[in-house]
């Protein structure tokens, strides 16, 4: 049987990564390709090295990734990113600061070559695995996706989830402002676009990640 590609997109804080990890346990011979974390790793290293240009329109994200010498590997059935032999921890990639800057960079930078790279990466992994793709702009990057899901939840639910994710160290009102700003940037970039093949899943009322993942899984044959 031909391996499938399951695209997981959605609003900020709706639980895309957690749902992807639950699907990993439901689907045998599958891996997660964290497209979002690959992009975050590029931006994180740019921030770390203080090489963020003022005119983001001049930034070619793929060329930047090569210059930064970032390496993508699979560990425990998920993609991870390394910099000179040292793994970049997910906590750093998912921080509030990195998240906001990523939204700003992706809104203006040239992503074309990175999308081409992403398509080749998916095709390579698809030869041996079912691919759960947690990313943005999936239809544009990989039109041959088997299933495309857009995960959503109310703003209040998303604030609560981010509040817990950040260890309750950031005030909810600050998180609200960050989510609203990121939502506007994502919408402007076209990352919230619903395509004819997109299945929109609202997980606001789901009490657990397992319940949310089950709502997605019921559409996968």
pLDDT of residue 55: 87
How much of the chain exceeds pLDDT 90, in percent?
95
Residue 180 pLDDT exceeds 90? yes
Label residue 22 by pLDDT band (50, 70, 90).
very high
**Structure token digits, residue 88:** 């970049």
How much of the chain exceeds pLDDT 70, in percent?
100
Label residue 30 by pLDDT band (50, 70, 90).
very high
Residue-wise pLDDT tens digits, 58-112: 899 999 999 999 999 999 999 999 999 999 999 999 999 999 999 999 999 999 9
Residues 168-195, mean pLDDT to the nearest whole number: 96
Residue 1 pLDDT exceeds 60? no
With beta carbons less than 8 A apart as the criterion, state whether 153 and 11 touch: yes
Residues 41-52, mean pLDDT to the nearest whole number: 93
Taking the CB of residue 113, how many other CB atoms lie within 10 A of it?
A: 15
Domains defined along the chain, listed by start: 5-217 (3.40.50.300)
Residue-wise pLDDT tens digits, 123-140: 999 999 999 999 999 999
Higher-confidence position of 216 and 52:
216
Residue 51 pLDDT exceeds 90? no
Residue 43 pLDDT exceeds 60? yes
Residues 31-56, mean pLDDT to the nearest whole number: 93
């Amino acid at each position: 049987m031909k391996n499938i590609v399951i695209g997981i997109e959605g609003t900020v804080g709706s639980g895309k990564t957690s749902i992807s990890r639950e699907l990993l346990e439901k689907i045998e011979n599958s891996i997660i390709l964290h497209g979002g974390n690959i992009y975050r790793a590029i931006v994180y290293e740019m921030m770390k090295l203080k090489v963020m240009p003022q005119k983001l329109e001049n930034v070619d994200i793929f060329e930047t990734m090569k210059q930064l010498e970032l390496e993508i590997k699979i560990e425990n059935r998920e993609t991870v990113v390394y910099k000179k032999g040292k793994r970049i921890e997910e906590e750093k990639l998912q921080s509030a600061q990195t998240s906001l800057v990523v939204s700003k960079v992706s809104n203006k930078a040239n992503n074309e070559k990175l999308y081409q790279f992403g398509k080749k990466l998916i095709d390579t992994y698809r030869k041996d695995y079912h691919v759960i793709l947690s990313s943005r702009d999936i239809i544009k990057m990989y039109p041959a996706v088997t299933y495309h899901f857009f995960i959503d939840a109310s703003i209040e639910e998303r604030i609560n989830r981010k509040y817990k994710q950040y260890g309750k160290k950031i005030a909810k009102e600050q998180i609200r402002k960050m989510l609203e700003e990121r939502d506007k940037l994502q919408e402007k970039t076209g990352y919230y676009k619903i395509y004819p093949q997109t299945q929109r899943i609202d997980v606001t009322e789901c009490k657990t990640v397992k319940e949310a993942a089950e709502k997605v899984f019921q559409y996968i044959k």
